[in-house]
Chain A
Amino acid sequence: MQTKETNTDFEVRSLDAMCVNESSLEHKWYHNIKYLFVGIAFGIVFVKAEIVSWFRIQEMFRLQSFHMYGVIGSAVVVGVISVWLIKKFKIKTIYGEKIEFKSHAFSKGQVYGGLLFGLGWAITGACPGPLYAQIGVGATVIVITLLSAIAGTWVYGYIREKLPH
């Protein structure tokens, strides 16, 4: 058993107050509104490119369409180039902070959890982002899927120590 708490989460950084990656800047809540606008743009792209479509996801996993592979592939290429440029030119944030990248360790969770998520992705035709967009387009019943996903997250947190990582 592990005695030291390890961060298996690639998305959440401030697990404790000692987190070295934490921004020292304090902002008022309304600074978050800019993320709302990024989200709106993102949601529009999700819907207009039909990434939130259950049919598109089935086509991807049945190898019947190139669409989703093109979307994910070109997104990764643009992401890789952007991150490389940020590192090369030491681009700072709009607040003048250094942009930090953290590397993560491998955990067995990426295999077990990854497979489980893949199964869920293909049934619902949605990963977490598209769930929000699907509710937005008016598929109100997806609220239940979202609540169930929140429940799944909670159960993971509850039994986390007993799972292989």
Chain B
Amino acid sequence: MSIFEWIKQPWPWYVAGPLIGLTVPLLLIIGNKSFGISSSLRHVCAIVVPANIKYFKYDWKKEMWNLFFVSGILLGGMMAANFLANPEAVKISEKLAGQLTVYGITDYTGLVPKQLFNWPALLTIKGLIMMVLGGFMIGFGTRYAGGCTSGHSIMGLSTLQWPSLVATCCFMIGGFIMSNLILPLILSL
């Protein structure tokens, strides 16, 4: 198997996890920056609609690096999808497949389920909840918590801050409640 073919396969956790962990020292060493992604949403607000709100009055120009970083993530996604795509269908656990079939989700190609996340679905109640309300909770929740999985769970835990451990536990609790108790109701709408 050539290196290129090997790269095209899905990467295991023990390759991806350490690479993500290395982003922490990399950002610190190349510019004293704390790893964090959700703050980009705040910078967009500060730039586009500050509306004289105190929370959005800060020198966003000093945080521009973050917007370059997230633009890179978008470009990286494009490159991976166009040049390094896994030729085979995404393997998902049989248990999950069984549970999702009940709700008519049978297409596992692509990283985002096409049967749930698509433009026409935006006009359905299910789609509105999953794409619009879901997004709103991400934006509101991350800023209220002061960070997201990158800011708290990676950067905060790397610097051994206990408030970040609290936040990470709450992220997980919220996720368990949604996936196991609420999402089945939403999917059956």
Of B38, B45, B170, which one neighbours A115 at CB under 8 angstroms? B170
A49 at the interface (CB under 8 A from B): yes
What is the size category of the interface that chain A forms with chain B? Answer: 35 or more
Chain B residue numbers with a CB within 8 Å of A40 are: 72-73, 75-76, 79
Chain A residue numbers with a CB within 8 Å of B54 are: 5, 157, 160-161
- Please encode chain B, from 132 to 147, with 1 for each CB lying within 8 Å of some chain A CB and 0 for all others: 1111111111111111
Please name the residue on chain A nearest to B168 by beta carbon.
A114
**B20 and A75 within 8 A (CB):** yes
Q: How many A-B residue pairs have CB under 8 A?
A: 541
Residue of A60, A73, A83, A149 with most chain B CB atoms under a 10 A cut-off: A149
A109-165 contacts to B (CB < 8 Å): 109-129, 131-142, 144-158, 160-161, 163
Of B24, B78, B154, which one neighbours A137 at CB under 8 angstroms? B78
Of A41, A99, A117, A161, which one neighbours B148 at CB under 8 angstroms? A117
Of B20, B72, B147, B172, which one neighbours A10 at CB under 8 angstroms? B147
B104 at the interface (CB under 8 A from A): no
**A120 and B143 within 8 A (CB):** no
Please give the distance in Å from A115's CB to the nearest CB on chain B.
Answer: 4
B90 at the interface (CB under 8 A from A): yes
Bound form: Cα–Cα A131–B37 in Å: 10
A113 and B18 contact, Cβ closer than 8 Å, known pairs A38-B72, A39-B69, A70-B13: no
- The interface residues of chain B, by DSSP majority, are classed as helix
Of A10, A39, A85, A140, which one neighbours B36 at CB under 8 angstroms? A10
Please name the residue on chain B nearest to A69 by beta carbon.
B13
Chain B residue numbers with a CB within 8 Å of A113 are: 140-146, 167, 170
B3 at the interface (CB under 8 A from A): no
- Please encode chain A, from 22 to 38, with 1 for each CB lying within 8 Å of some chain B CB and 0 for all others: 11000001011111111
Please name the residue on chain B nearest to A115 by beta carbon.
B174
**B111 and A54 within 8 A (CB):** yes
Bound form: Cα–Cα A11–B27 in Å: 13
Chain B residue numbers with a CB within 8 Å of A48 are: 7, 10-11, 16, 80, 84, 86
A120 and B141 contact, Cβ closer than 8 Å, known pairs A99-B29, A157-B56: yes
User: Given A54-B116, A74-B21, A83-B24, 6 other A-B contacts at CB below 8 A?
Assistant: A12-B58, A29-B64, A49-B10, A116-B137, A136-B75, A149-B139
The 9 closest A-B pairs by CB, nearest first: A118-B174, A39-B72, A43-B76, A136-B77, A152-B139, A113-B144, A78-B21, A114-B170, A79-B158
List 23 contacting pairs A-B, 8 Å CB cutoff, sorted by A. Answer: A9-B146, A35-B27, A41-B76, A48-B11, A61-B179, A75-B154, A79-B155, A82-B21, A82-B25, A107-B163, A114-B170, A116-B137, A124-B134, A127-B150, A133-B73, A136-B74, A141-B122, A145-B138, A149-B136, A151-B139, A153-B45, A157-B45, A157-B56
Which of B's residues lie within 8 Å of A, judged by CB? 7, 10-34, 36-45, 49, 51, 53-56, 58-59, 62-66, 68-81, 84, 86, 90, 92-93, 95-96, 99-100, 108, 110-113, 116-119, 121-122, 129-164, 166-180, 182-183, 186
